[in-house]
Every structure is written in C-alpha cells, then in structure tokens.
Amino acid sequence: MSSQLSPARQRIIKTALELFTTQGVTSTTTRQIADLAEVNEVTLFRQFGNKYGLLLALLEESTAFQNLGEYLAKNLYNEGDVSQIIHDYASNALLSLEQVPELMRSLIGEASQYPTENRQVLGRGIKKINQQLGDYLAKAVTQGSLNTNLPPHKLAALLNATIFGYAIIEFTSEFTELWQNQDDFINSLINLFVTQNNLSTPAFSMNTANLELSSEVVDLPGNLVFKILQQARKSGLQDYALAYVLFAAGLSVNEIISLQKTQQIQTPQAHILQISTPTSSRQVPLNQWIMGKHYGVYNNNPLAKWLKSRKDDYPTMFINDKGSSISELEIQQRWQKWTDNMYTPQSRKPTIIQTQHTWRVEMLMRGISIENLTILTGCTDKQLQPYAYRAKEKSAIEQATNLDQKN
C-alpha cells in the first residue's frame, strides 16, 4: 500500500480488504470496518463517503489489486512451450482467486449493485490482465509457436473469462462435478485453447497437465527427487511427510487433502493408505524405497513419524496452522519452497504433478504390471500407456548404458 497514505486511511483500507475477503462486501458493514480499524465511523465516512467509496479506494490504492496482473503474468516467458506457460498461468490465477472466494463472489456477483465508477475500475483491472496475457500470445503467434484463428488479445480475454468462470463456480458452490479436479480443468483448458489451435505443431504436448489425459510423461530424475525430499525434511516433519506421500504413493494433491488419520493400515509388513472418493475406493501402499534410496520401514517412515508427533485431535492427516485440513494452495506453497532454485532436465521448474509421473514410471520400472497399476491408480490401461512407454524408454537407456560399461 502506498507510503503516502495516512496511517488511518491505510488501516481502514487494510481492514476493509480483510473483511471483504472473509465475508464479502454486502455482509460487511462500515461499523465493523471502523471498529476493527480502531477509528470512528465518522472518520470512515469523511475519508470515503460510504462503503462503496471505500471499495473504490481499495481497488485503486491497495497493492493486492495493483499487482494482481503482474503476479498472474510472472510466468509468461518470452520463450518456451506454450502449453506449459498457459498451465502455469492458469494455476497461478486459480491459486490467487482461491485465497479470496468471498471477495471474488462479491466483486462479480454483486457488481450490479455498485456505482458506475466502481464497475469501471473493475473493468480496467480486468482489461489490464487481458492486455498482459494478450501481449504474450501475440508474441507467440509472431514466433510461430501458436496458431489461432482469433486475434491474440481476444483469445486472451476468452482464456481469462474461462478461468474466472471456473473459479466462480468451483470456489463458491459445492458438488458441481464439472471436472474431476483442478488439474483436469487446466488440462481441458490447454486442450481447447492450445492443442486444437496447433494441430500442425506436435511439440506442444500437454506434458504437465492431468496425467490421465496426457500423451507425454515427464518424470523427475532420481537426484532431483532426492534433493526435493531433503529440502522438505529441512522444513519440518509435516513437510517431509507430505513430500514422502507424493513420491512414495503417487497420490494427487486433492487425494492428499482429503486423507484422514484413520485412512492408513500400518503393520510391520506394510503401510497402506485408503483412498476414498464419492465414486470409488482403492488402497495404495507407501514405497519404502524411492528412486534407489531407503526412507525408513513400514512402521517408521516420514509419514509415521509425523502422525506419531501429533498431539491434537484433528482428524485430517495433514493440517494447517488453524487445525483445518491443509489446502491445495498451502501444499503448492510448500512445494515452491522445497523446489526453490531447482530445475528439471528440460530447464523448467518441477511441478507437483510430476511426482505422480515419477511414481507411476518407477512402479513399472520395478516390475509391476499394467493390470496391477490400474488397480492402484484407478486409471484404465489406455490412460497408463504413456507411462509404460516411458518406462520402456528408460529401460532401453539403462540397457544401452550397461552394455557400454561392459565394453
């Protein structure tokens, strides 16, 4: 927030943002804002006129809105795979919007109640975000890495409208069942906006989108997996346990979020997680060996140590500071911390979805059959074929390397 603003004005705007974020604009009163900001309500009226004048000031003066476009555009590189960049852009946008569902619902759903000036500010903010994405897409068209029948800035506006529409539906309602999860939505987005516009450009396979629909598998090398686990270990017991479950069981972030402490079977011979969804149920064992390194035994591993350290009565397996189930955003933030300054052999930042790539390929490399892997993952034979091909590719490389060493 600008340093030129008076302390009282800064405090009022900051408090309004907090209340609008947690309970929406309509449900927040000027009295609540004034009391929490420790000012007289008359001061608020003198500074802003009314609640909508305060909202207008918030939209124009708060850095939370001034920098939103720059934050969403931070992964729009000048070069690279368009599918990867759109994937990162959509992920960043949804992570930002997921933090403020009540404010988003108010800004969009209640906009018709706002004065014209407020709606104009909202429109200018959205226009700025569209402009930044459109500039990137225009450059991609010029470089020949994106084919589209639409002007780039119209394509950008349509892309953002789809992302915001998904966020409004998913973050403000329940049981929509439009997509299996957020990765499924982003995969569909890329398939619609990139793949269909690049039928003559086979390089743009969706290598970091939802694995079940991906034609290319991008697993992580063993040395990078080891580094990520080491960084997670330095961050604490829960972080280490989270990273361990990602690499040792190949679960999705959504599956991890819904895990309860009771959903484990632990014996001296096995440590198994029970995965339950509204439509299916399956069991997945935790690997004690990950990419050639040993991570404890069945009853004494990073997850077992984390659960043993718990002194609370919260039912969920992984929790945040408030005792609630950890969110996708919080897991993403932890992942970013673990992988800071790390890059894959493709010169990209590692993504969480690649832990699932890695686990599935490793299972096949260690001899599990496709049939049995379908049982553990809930996927079909067809969905697992890309992993089978990647496992064969790695086996061929290993065989060629071994032959060379023998000679």
Mean pLDDT of 205-212: 34
Q: What is the pLDDT of residue 174?
A: 59
SS3 267: strand
- 281-285: average pLDDT: 92
Q: Taking 90 as the threshold, does the pLDDT of residue 212 lie above it?
A: no
pLDDT digits 0-9 by tens, 214-225: 446 889 999 999
Q: What is the pLDDT of residue 264?
A: 93
Q: What are the φ and ψ backbone dihedral angles of 264, each rounded to 5 degrees?
A: -140, 145
Which has more confidence, 44 or 121? 44
Pair 272, 282: CB distance under 8 Å:
no
370-393 pLDDT, tens per residue? 999 999 998 889 889 999 999 999
Helix (H, G, I), strand (E, B) or coil at 270: strand
Parse the chain into domains and list their residue ranges.
7-66, 69-213, 222-406
pLDDT band for 279, please (50, 70, 90 cuts): low
Q: Give me the chain's average pLDDT, please.
A: 80
Average pLDDT over every residue of 309-322: 91
Least confident residue range of 55-64, 198-207, 287-296: 198-207
* CATH no. for 7-66: 1.10.10.60
Mean pLDDT across the stretch 172-176?
59
Which range among 95-99, 273-277, 401-405 has the greatest average pLDDT?
273-277
- Tokens describing residue 109: 């759903």
Cα gap 192→186, rounded to integer Å? 10
Query: Are the beta carbons of 242 and 318 closer than 8 angstroms?
Result: yes
- What pLDDT, on a 0 to 100 scale, did the predictor assign at position 272? 95
What token pair was written down for 13?
A: 């705007």
Closest CA to 356 of 188, 205, 211: 211
Q: Which of 284, 282, 258 is nearest to 273 (CA)?
A: 284
The whole-number pLDDT of residue 263 equals 93
Q: What is the pLDDT of residue 8?
A: 86
Q: Do domains 7-66 and 222-406 have the same CATH topology?
A: no
> In the predicted model, is pLDDT for residue 83 greater than 90?
no
Q: Are 289 and 351 in contact (CB under 8 A)?
A: no
Cβ contacts of 345 within 8 Å, gap of 6 or more: 221
Question: For the ranges 154-168, 203-217, 369-383, which has the lowest average pLDDT?
Answer: 203-217
Q: Which helix (H) or strand (E) holds 336?
A: helix 328-338
The arrangement of secondary structure in 222-406, i.e. its CATH architecture, is: Orthogonal Bundle (1.10)
Per the structure block, which two tokens stand in for 102?
């009540």
- What dotted CATH number matches 69-213? 1.10.357.10
CB-based contact 242:355 (threshold 8 Å) = no
pLDDT in tens, 86-129: 777 788 778 777 766 666 666 666 666 667 776 776 777 777 77
Beta bridge partners of 272: 265, 285
Residue 62, pLDDT score: 60
Residue 56 has pLDDT above 50, yes or no: yes
Which residues, in sequence order, are CB contacts of 194 under 8 Å at separation 6+? 82, 83, 86, 146, 204, 206
Considering only 2-11, 28-37, 146-155, which range has the smallest mean pLDDT?
A: 2-11
Mean pLDDT of 77-82: 57
Res 175: pLDDT: 52
Residue environment code for 173-194, b if the CB has 16+ CB neighbours within 10 A, otherwise e: eeeeeebbbbbbbbbbbbeebb
CA 143 to chain centre: 29
Q: What is the pLDDT of residue 245?
A: 96
C-alpha–C-alpha distance, residues 158 and 193, integer Å? 9
Tens-digit pLDDT profile for residues 319-360: 988 888 898 888 988 999 999 999 998 888 898 989 999 999
Q: Is the pLDDT of residue 20 over 60?
A: yes
